[in-house]
Chain A
Amino acid sequence: MTKKISISLLVAATLFASSCDKKLNLQDPQAIDASTALSTDDRVKKVLIGNYAALGSAALYGGDVLWMSELLASDGELTWVGTFPDPRQIWGKNMLVNNSNAFATYAAAYRVIYNSNNILANLSVVKTADQPKVEGEAKFLRAMAYFELVKFFGEKPYVAGSTTTLKGVPIITTPGPSAPQSTEYNLPRASVEAVYQQVIQDLTDAESKLPNTNGVYANKPSAQLALARVYLQQAKYTEARDAANRCITAALANGFSLVSSYGAAFNNAANTREDLFAMQYNLVSGTNSCFTYFSTGTYGARDGDIEVTDKHMNKYAAGDTRKDLFFFDAGAYRVGKWRDNYRNVKVFRLAEAYLTRAECNARLNQNAATVAADVKLIRDRAGLPEIAAPTLAQILNERELELAFEGQGIWDAKRLKLSVDGRSWDDPKLTFPMPLRERNINGGLDQNPGYN
């Protein structure tokens, strides 16, 4: 009797215990397992949306790459007066290898690349009709991340030459092992040339696959303007001009145009018709870091960490309405483009395409009428008189003032081989150090000249 009970108890216990074993694989109700996160059309598209948030993180186009470029390019026109030591190092061109902003940008860029690589590897589950668009967007995002990486961390600017031997950054274009600690990720730095080729290839694909308009997401004109930026860095003026030209053509055909006043182009909660591509910020998604540092306590930011000096203010001709956008607060001039909180961060404004096309045409001595018309368009809006035959210097001056403090500062300075705060355009200190912690992990990652 008791033996039977014992045995049946044992059997019951064994059955129950083994059924419990099946319950050891639990799914987080707040999350989708990585193994299935890219398993359907919907999910891949949602991950793609998430990758825009990654690109828009503070360390990238959420502001940092813009103000970091401007602080590097300050040349006495900007002063960092804030308490944070890391931006101060950037402004002073005296960065330490453990600079936290540099590392944050490095890490954020590879997160975007990681996301794009995963999306592209799972493109086959996307509806056939939508595949080109998804592919185009993923490649656009990846290209932007590599472009910022190679500009900030590449050993020297592209125009320094020797691009096949100068070190860029590690390239990864497919999903790696699922374990982040895998040593397979400890890649060496690819050459500057290789990284540029990767960027151009992605952007070229993006241009061909992206739709002309795409809501707030990447579209054909933004990919074209991105290409123009890349070619400008390479001083390939024909290619840059053509890309800018394609951008303008596509943009105008699809409802984009300059907004009527310069001031109206900034502090927008929604994209304007001039915005080819902007990072979306609102009350829920939070504050962009250009606002944090450029604006003042009056508008809910910090105490005004970045001041604009007279050297910059004096660059504007009388009547230039672009000067009116600056505001005086907390004892100094401030960049009005970043005055208000919860506003979009402009990445590609159509105005840039006109300036790029004009510059390239001027350099190539082609299409003089277009050059004049392009510059007139910009100057008209700024309230300035027309220049009948703009010189290259005049076009570059126009570009500097039109795009001031929008993140192009150091990249234009480098490609134009201008000196910055007494340093030559190819001074090692105008390049970021490879982050110390990356080199601690990956011994094969060489440091940039000028840093230890």
Chain B
Amino acid sequence: MMKKLSLFLMVLFVSVSHLAFSQKTVSGKVSDATNGKPLEGVTVSVKGTSVGTSTNADGSFSFVIPEKAATLVFSSVGFREKEVAVSANLSMIQLTPSSGDLGEVVVVGYGTTLKKELTGTVARVKGADVANMPVPNLNQALQGRAAGVFVESENGKVGEGIKVRIRGSGSVNSSNQPLYVVDGIPLSGGFAGASTADINFNDIESFEILKDAAAAAIYGSRAANGVVIITTKRGKAGKTKFNLGAQFGENTPTNKRGFLNAQEYIDYFRQAGRGAAEYHMRPDGGDNWFGFNDLAEAYTYMDNVVIGRLNRYSGWSPFRGGKDWRTGEVNTNWEDLAFQKGNTNQLELSAAGGNDKTRFYMAGNINNQDGILVANKFQRMSARLNLDHQVNNWLKIGMNTSLTKTTRNQVPLDNAFSTPMQAVALAPITPVRDSLGMLFDRPVATYYNPLIEVEETIRKSSAYRNQGSIFADVKLAQNLTFHTDLGLDMVQQTSENWWGPRTLVGAATAEQKGEADSRWFRNTRWMTNNYFSYKTTFGEKHKLDATAGFAFENVEISDVYADGQDFPDIALKTLASTATPSDIDGTRSENNLRSYFGRANYVYDGKYLLGLSVRNDADSRFGTNYKAGTFWSASLAWIMSDEKFMQGITWLSYLKPRASYGTSGNNSGLGFYQARTQYGAQTYGTASGLGVSNFGNDDLRWETTKMLNIGLEFGVFNNRLTGEFEWYDKRTEDMLLNVPVTSVSGTTSVYGNVGGMSNKGIELTLNSVNVASRNLRWTTSLNLAKNKNTLTKLDGEQKEILPNDARFANALIVGKPIGVFYAPKFLGANPENGDPMFRKADGTTTREYDEAEKTIIGDPNPDWIAGLTNTVSWKGLELSVLFQGVFGNQVQDGAGGFMSASADWFDNQTRDQLNAWQKKGDVTMVPQARLNWFGDFASPSISSRYVYDADYVRLKNITLGYNIPQKTMAKIGLTSARVYVSGVNLLTFTKYPGWDPEVNTDYRSGNVNQGSDFYAAPQIKSWVFGLNLGF
């Protein structure tokens, strides 16, 4: 393989000869049209040839061009390409910043290209568009901004997990998250929180989201879920520009759903007690196995049961400080107590500048975000230095480095009694504290009081990330450069937890007094990318841009864990004080990846575009029969609007159909050593032994995704309205699944590449300049995408893997989308007797859950996602409004069986339960309020009763900024000043009755387990006031 590549490169070197012709010298100067400042590094080339140069720090250029050259082309990242006649005055060339238009330079894998010459599908989001958004994670900032990019925060815990799907889910067992590449280095993961939260996105110049095979295939075995290329800011020559940014504001929940108040709780549960008695006495119900004489006696019995509980939950005893529930003195809103008023603030200072030899960008940032849940907090401190140095006319070297510390004060997973949101289950008649000021716990509190965790636990995780690289660009010839870099991404995470003696964990046995654990985790990735880039034009009409090279990458993960119980004093919280060391673990693992890659883009006559890319990945995790995978793409595009026959259509400014097909892989489902059969420690009694720890498969390899993409780019009315339409058909083959094998082999299943998945969809992006006058500019950007996911194959024999869970119903069914809800259909309360009604296979109804027919009752995968941005600027004022929407998906509320359960048990109930059936003839979706005291009926399990449409439209971001006129600012020595207010998630429009329709409860979130709510915190609503000063 390497041999072939070398040969290919050699041919490139030798075969391209320079044609001799007469020449002349031109010179001039380029500046920024917005501020008149000189622009450095602008590429100046003769149109239709490879002859070119770039501007110096003072914006000047001078080079020799062919005598007959007519037009010069000026291009630079972030600016519109400009064509100027050679004969024109070249001393005052001005470039205007691009706004997503065709002259824009976009970053692609191992290089850049002109948007116009792109043959793949790349969505670009400028860093400036998301800078200063008051969210901890860049993915939250990207939500709604690019077509086909679905972003979902699991819940409202600050800085935690986020699901990102580019063109749907392609896998059951591998990750479906995109690959993030920061300045050429893939982002390494940790064990807690999202890695993307480690990045200060104010440092980011642009995000390029590679969606189709033509764009992504060059990232090979990791590109199947799409690639997000993150490019950070770099300095420009000129006066050093300082920027001071500050913002502060507030975080609150998007919604509180509301529970029964004290009086309602009392009334409802007394009613439910009677409901239990009535059901118990029914011959077709409990059939009075308890042996009451009549209904009146059963009523009395249940009245006393409920009164006993109300007494208990109200802590009614003279010495504990409880209150008599009859007086209505206590009305605790436990939902409110789960939340805190969160503050958010950010402080940032950056400096950028340099001279013609050396340029730099440096920035420091501190971002504090209090969560909305009590004791939840996120903090990120980051520093970055990006350096470029031009050694001489053929060598440029540089360095990027960033240091980040991300600290999270976490709260327990959503399914833990100790998580703040589970406080909603407690009775509103329960006072918060007793007469000694202590929080009430069981038995007064219905369940463990999660507020105890606030007082007696520490759950702190810290991530220390050091990411950076050194690089060199060598100009080997006029058209040929060589890039080499050495990169490092090291994330060191620690978690230090402590549970006091009153907590659930810290009091697991009577003797145990507290527990603590500590985990140290390090994930180090070092890598090198080396590639040649060759750009040339030959003849009049041929333009070639080729890149070829190789990369090597090493990942090493170390993980140490220790746990101890029984601490002498509440002040002693570290492991040093443990009396009983109870658990210890330590592992190390390593992975290597060797890649060859290449890309060639060919343009004929400026109109006909061909793109080819290839990558060969050899990964140490692959089985011996498949040590390396080759991925490729081919793409075609045609700038039709440049054809003569289109010139007459004046309203049509731009039309470019394109098509691509290619393959990419997903290696993430494979453990580093999963392909190997190997033996690990197997202790017997107290003796160390060895046993098979993994049955490997020599055929284990990447999952392959084949994608066909047809796109159309267009611009009308002099490009006032531009857009892109995409259609894709994405098929995953060789999907990793556990394949059953006979036990006679020594094991019962072995991982194999056997399954299949399909995603088909369309995407539409529209950008329009609605008003562009001297003072007023109004632009609109719309993105819209539809994806249809289908599981096409499991192991070949199984057709479905059905849920076996009382709370959630995610299933894998061939021919259906991944994770559909498969459960009985609930038809409301039986008007006759208030029993729940489920649909049976024969169309009749039953109250028995187990007799009901299970069918597909919902789909967690959205049909449509959309984003709409309007930006209006008037003089110094700028208003930007982003609406984001998700449509056609459902959410299952796994906690419904507890809190929307017709008072099945004493959990406080959601307010809709007040609509319970009460008398014969009542038509309602809520069955009779009925305590399950006698255990004579089945408690509510997952059914369509707890499945809701979760479409929503959200005012994702609104920012109003004012740029104070420069004249005013100059007086106090400032070059610029901007004040702004910005809000996130300010409004949500949805029919979802729970806290928030954007949800996937953290404790079970996965590829299949989607669309689940379970005491998940609502999303965070933020507003901030901010200030940016330039000097």
Interface residues of A (CB under 8 A from B): 2-3, 5-6, 9-10, 13-14, 16-18, 20-21, 23-34, 37, 43, 46-54, 56, 103, 106-107, 110-111, 113-115, 170, 172, 176, 178-182, 185-187, 216, 280-282, 284-285, 435, 437-438, 440-442
A50 & B588 in contact (Cβ 8 Å cutoff)? no
B775 within 8 A of A: no
B746 within 8 A of A: yes
Query: Looking at the complex, which one of B482, B618, B695, B748 makes contact with A9 (CB distance below 8 Å)?
Result: B482
Query: Looking at the complex, which one of A5, A103, A280 makes contact with B685 (CB distance below 8 Å)?
Result: A280
B676 & A114 in contact (Cβ 8 Å cutoff)? no
Query: Looking at the complex, which one of B482, B592, B689, B748 makes contact with A49 (CB distance below 8 Å)?
Result: B689
What CA separation (Å) do A372 and B687 show in the bound complex? 41
Q: Which residue of A lies closest to B588 (CB)?
A: A29
What CA separation (Å) do A374 and B474 show in the bound complex? 94
Task: Give B473-517 interface residues, CB cut-off 8 Å to A.
Answer: 474, 476-477, 480, 482
B378 within 8 A of A: no
A17 & B686 in contact (Cβ 8 Å cutoff)? no
B293 within 8 A of A: no
Residues on A with beta carbons closer than 8 Å to the beta carbon of B22: none
- Given A185-B744, A280-B684: A18 touches B693 (CB 8 Å cut-off): no
Residues on A with beta carbons closer than 8 Å to the beta carbon of B300: none
Min C-beta distance of B483 to chain A, whole Å: 11
- Given A111-B747, A438-B742: A282 touches B13 (CB 8 Å cut-off): no
Residues on A with beta carbons closer than 8 Å to the beta carbon of B476: 2, 5-6, 9
Min C-beta distance of A286 to chain B, whole Å: 10
B389 within 8 A of A: no
B619 & A181 in contact (Cβ 8 Å cutoff)? no
Kindly state the interface size class of chain B when it binds its partner. Answer: 35 or more
A30 & B587 in contact (Cβ 8 Å cutoff)? yes
Residues on B with beta carbons closer than 8 Å to the beta carbon of A179: 697-698, 750
B690 & A47 in contact (Cβ 8 Å cutoff)? yes
Interface residues of B (CB under 8 A from A): 2-3, 6, 9-10, 13, 394, 474, 476-477, 480, 482, 530, 549-550, 552, 554, 587-592, 594, 596, 618-620, 627, 672-673, 676-698, 739-748, 750, 752, 797
Query: Looking at the complex, which one of B618, B677, B683, B741 makes contact with A53 (CB distance below 8 Å)?
Result: B683
A–B Cβ pairs within 8 angstroms, 13 of them: A2-B476, A25-B620, A31-B673, A31-B694, A33-B679, A43-B690, A50-B689, A53-B683, A53-B684, A170-B744, A179-B750, A180-B745, A442-B742
What CA separation (Å) do A100 and B10 show in the bound complex? 63
Query: Looking at the complex, which one of B592, B594, B672, B679 makes contact with A37 (CB distance below 8 Å)?
Result: B679
Q: Which residue of B lies closest to A183 (CB)?
A: B742
Q: Which residue of A lies closest to B549 (CB)?
A: A13
Residues on B with beta carbons closer than 8 Å to the beta carbon of A48: 689
Min C-beta distance of B718 to chain A, whole Å: 45
B691 & A180 in contact (Cβ 8 Å cutoff)? no
What CA separation (Å) do A185 and B747 show in the bound complex? 11
A52 & B689 in contact (Cβ 8 Å cutoff)? yes
A180 & B550 in contact (Cβ 8 Å cutoff)? no
Min C-beta distance of B815 to chain A, whole Å: 20
A185 & B588 in contact (Cβ 8 Å cutoff)? no
B618 & A10 in contact (Cβ 8 Å cutoff)? no
What CA separation (Å) do A21 and B591 show in the bound complex? 13
Min C-beta distance of A109 to chain B, whole Å: 8
What CA separation (Å) do A405 and B686 show in the bound complex? 27
- Given A24-B592, A180-B745: A285 touches B684 (CB 8 Å cut-off): yes
Residues on B with beta carbons closer than 8 Å to the beta carbon of A49: 682, 684, 687-690
B745 & A182 in contact (Cβ 8 Å cutoff)? yes
Residues on A with beta carbons closer than 8 Å to the beta carbon of B477: 2, 6
- Given A5-B476, A29-B589: A282 touches B594 (CB 8 Å cut-off): no
Min C-beta distance of B533 to chain A, whole Å: 12
What CA separation (Å) do A10 and B4 show in the bound complex? 12
- Given A3-B13, A6-B480, A17-B594: A34 touches B676 (CB 8 Å cut-off): yes
Residues on A with beta carbons closer than 8 Å to the beta carbon of B13: 3, 6
- Given A18-B2, A47-B690: A28 touches B589 (CB 8 Å cut-off): yes
Residues on B with beta carbons closer than 8 Å to the beta carbon of A282: 685-686
What CA separation (Å) do A181 and B745 show in the bound complex? 8
What CA separation (Å) do A284 and B581 show in the bound complex? 12
What CA separation (Å) do A26 and B673 show in the bound complex? 8
What CA separation (Å) do A30 and B679 show in the bound complex? 8
Q: Which residue of B lies closest to A36 (CB)?
A: B679
B627 & A24 in contact (Cβ 8 Å cutoff)? yes
Q: Which residue of B lies closest to A344 (CB)?
A: B685
- Given A21-B618, A50-B684: A32 touches B678 (CB 8 Å cut-off): yes
Residues on B with beta carbons closer than 8 Å to the beta carbon of A435: 743
B690 & A14 in contact (Cβ 8 Å cutoff)? no
Residues on B with beta carbons closer than 8 Å to the beta carbon of A43: 690
Residues on A with beta carbons closer than 8 Å to the beta carbon of B747: 107, 111, 114, 180
A216 & B740 in contact (Cβ 8 Å cutoff)? no
A31 & B680 in contact (Cβ 8 Å cutoff)? yes
A56 & B684 in contact (Cβ 8 Å cutoff)? yes
**12 further contact pairs, Cβ within 8 A, besides A32-B680, A103-B743, A115-B691:** A2-B394, A17-B550, A17-B596, A26-B672, A27-B673, A51-B691, A53-B684, A53-B691, A181-B741, A186-B742, A285-B683, A285-B684
Residues on B with beta carbons closer than 8 Å to the beta carbon of A29: 587-590
What CA separation (Å) do A23 and B621 show in the bound complex? 11
Query: Looking at the complex, which one of A16, A31, A52, A281 makes contact with B678 (CB distance below 8 Å)?
Result: A31
Min C-beta distance of B838 to chain A, whole Å: 21
Q: Considering residues B2, B394, B627, B797, which has the most beta carbons from chain A within 10 angstroms of its beta carbon?
A: B2
Residues on B with beta carbons closer than 8 Å to the beta carbon of A51: 689, 691
Q: Which residue of B lies closest to A271 (CB)?
A: B685
- Given A10-B6, A30-B587: A284 touches B684 (CB 8 Å cut-off): no
Q: Which residue of A lies closest to B677 (CB)?
A: A34
Residues on A with beta carbons closer than 8 Å to the beta carbon of B677: 33-34, 178
Residues on B with beta carbons closer than 8 Å to the beta carbon of A13: 530, 549-550
What CA separation (Å) do A51 and B554 show in the bound complex? 35
What CA separation (Å) do A181 and B797 show in the bound complex? 14
Residues on B with beta carbons closer than 8 Å to the beta carbon of A185: 741-742, 744-745
B587 & A20 in contact (Cβ 8 Å cutoff)? no
Min C-beta distance of A133 to chain B, whole Å: 15
Min C-beta distance of B393 to chain A, whole Å: 12
Min C-beta distance of B451 to chain A, whole Å: 29
What CA separation (Å) do A23 and B527 show in the bound complex? 13
A110 & B683 in contact (Cβ 8 Å cutoff)? no
A24 & B619 in contact (Cβ 8 Å cutoff)? yes
What CA separation (Å) do A52 and B691 show in the bound complex? 10
B743 & A34 in contact (Cβ 8 Å cutoff)? no
What CA separation (Å) do A18 and B594 show in the bound complex? 9
What CA separation (Å) do A186 and B744 show in the bound complex? 8
Residues on A with beta carbons closer than 8 Å to the beta carbon of B620: 23-26
- Given A6-B13, A110-B743, A180-B747: A46 touches B688 (CB 8 Å cut-off): yes
Q: Which residue of A lies closest to B592 (CB)?
A: A23
Q: Which residue of A lies closest to B798 (CB)?
A: A440
Please name the 4 residue pairs, one residue from A and one from B, whose CB atoms are nearest each other, closest first. A49-B689, A280-B685, A114-B746, A50-B691
Query: Looking at the complex, which one of B552, B673, B691, B750 makes contact with A16 (CB distance below 8 Å)?
Result: B552
Residues on B with beta carbons closer than 8 Å to the beta carbon of A110: 743-746
Q: Which residue of A lies closest to B623 (CB)?
A: A179
Q: Which residue of B lies closest to A186 (CB)?
A: B742
B9 & A10 in contact (Cβ 8 Å cutoff)? yes
Q: Which residue of A lies closest to B619 (CB)?
A: A24
Residues on B with beta carbons closer than 8 Å to the beta carbon of A10: 6, 9-10
B689 & A46 in contact (Cβ 8 Å cutoff)? yes
Query: Looking at the complex, which one of A32, A106, A280 makes contact with B743 (CB distance below 8 Å)?
Result: A106
Query: Looking at the complex, which one of B6, B554, B746 makes contact with A180 (CB distance below 8 Å)?
Result: B746
- Given A24-B594, A25-B620, A26-B591: A438 touches B743 (CB 8 Å cut-off): yes
A28 & B678 in contact (Cβ 8 Å cutoff)? yes
A284 & B679 in contact (Cβ 8 Å cutoff)? no
What CA separation (Å) do A50 and B591 show in the bound complex? 28
Q: Which residue of A lies closest to B554 (CB)?
A: A23
Min C-beta distance of B440 to chain A, whole Å: 26
